[in-house]
Amino acid sequence: MAEIKKVLLNKEGLHARPAGALAKTAAGFKSKIELLFNQKKVNAKSSLSLMTLGLGHNAEFTIFADGEDSEQAIKTLSELIDKEFKI
């Protein structure tokens, strides 16, 4: 299992477009991937689930990945978030 704490830099928060990019990227991994924010954990492979978190600008959250490619999943998702979802 791997995890990383992140801060959402995207000024508009985690709306449909970045949530879709995050879910699409997460879906490319075999690992189970989840995001935790305010004691609520959701499936990171579902854009709708991600949007229910209500992540706003500068929100602090944690990404968890569990599986054979968990380290690569964390690295790739972290880079996507750092680039403010610009693929």
Q: Among residues 72, 61, 70, 71, which one has the least CA distance to residue 14? A: 61
Residue 10 pLDDT exceeds 90: no
C-alpha to C-alpha distances, 51 to 15, 46, 68, 70, 72, nearest whole angstrom: 6, 9, 26, 22, 23
Catalytic residues: 15
pLDDT mean across residues, the chain:
96
Decide yes or no: CATH 3.60.20.10 for domain 2-82. Answer: no
For the chain, the straight-line distance linking the first and the last C-alpha, in angstroms and rounded, comes to: 25
At residue 81, the pLDDT reads: 94
| Residue linked to tokens 């999943």 | 73
The pLDDT tens digits for 26-63 are 999 999 999 999 999 999 999 999 999 999 999 999 99
High-pLDDT (> 90) share of the chain, %? 91
